[in-house]
Chain A
Amino acid sequence: DTAVSQTPKYLVTQMGNDKSIKCEQNLGHDTMYWYKQDSKKFLKIMFSYNNKELIINETVPNRFSPKSPDKAHLNLHINSLELGDSAVYFCASSQSDTGRYGYTFGSGTRLTVV
């Protein structure tokens, strides 16, 4: 049983399109996150949700919109995709909204915008 699962694993799309990435966790955690990993492997937090409520919203273009229908799911919708959005996007979850127990990560979604 995968603890944090993301779909799709790979996404290739043209500039200007709209796409979504889905994330689900079966750990019973209250908090979920989206991180972006660039080509240099640098990881940057984008959003976090605790029990369906947004608690961290970094300086991310408003083309990115997270949605959490329940505490086990956190989806990421991206409008008007740009070349610079190409990256690996990781979903993660933790049992505390303080992050002090560490995160469980999904295996990532590699987004390529052409």
Chain B
Amino acid sequence: AQSVTQPDIHITVSEGASLELRCNYSYGATPYLFWYVQSPGQGLQLLLKYFSGDTLVQGIKGFEAEFKRSQSSFNLRKPSVHWSDAAEYFCALKTSYDKVIFGPGTSLSVIP
């Protein structure tokens, strides 16, 4: 089955600390993977995407993600979190049926 899981429902970090949000996927071939961010009351914004090439992908707002085929993971990282990064983060996978399915999301809180 093709699926996306995000093991952490909620994460709290202090402002200035580093961040890593976990994403695992299940897919038989090379996946197309995405990270989106949803601020309160807003739509989702694409942070970055991976579909081939360099396994370390740079995105907007200082985020990066690393694709690890051996671990079926696509974790999102940021070296120093800002209070404005508090939001819901979704990992997503394009399936072989050309649908994009989303993980359940990780809610990020930032302590000043």
Contacts and interface: CB of A to CB of B under 8 A. Distances in A.
Interface residues of B, number: 24
Contact of B42 (A42, A55, A107): A107
B94 A41 contact: no
Contacts of A4: 43
Interface size on A, as a range, is 20 to 34
| Chain B interface, DSSP helix/strand/loop, else mixed | strand
A90 B36 CA distance: 14
Given A90-B43, A105-B45, A99 B104 contact: no
Interface in A65-114: 90, 92, 97-108
Contacts of A101: 49
Given A45-B99, A56-B99, A106 B43 contact: yes
A43 interface: yes
B34 A102 contact: yes
Interface in A11-61: 40-43, 45, 48, 55-56
B13 interface: no
Interface of A: 4, 40-43, 45, 48, 55-56, 90, 92, 97-108
Nearest to A6: B43
A103 B106 CA distance: 19
Given A41-B105, A42-B104, A103 B46 contact: yes
Given A42-B104, A45-B99, A45-B100, A99 B94 contact: yes
Given A42-B104, A92-B44, A97-B98, 9 more contacts: A42-B102, A42-B105, A43-B90, A56-B98, A98-B98, A99-B100, A102-B34, A102-B49, A108-B41
Nearest to B48: A102
Contacts of B38: 41
B43 A105 contact: yes
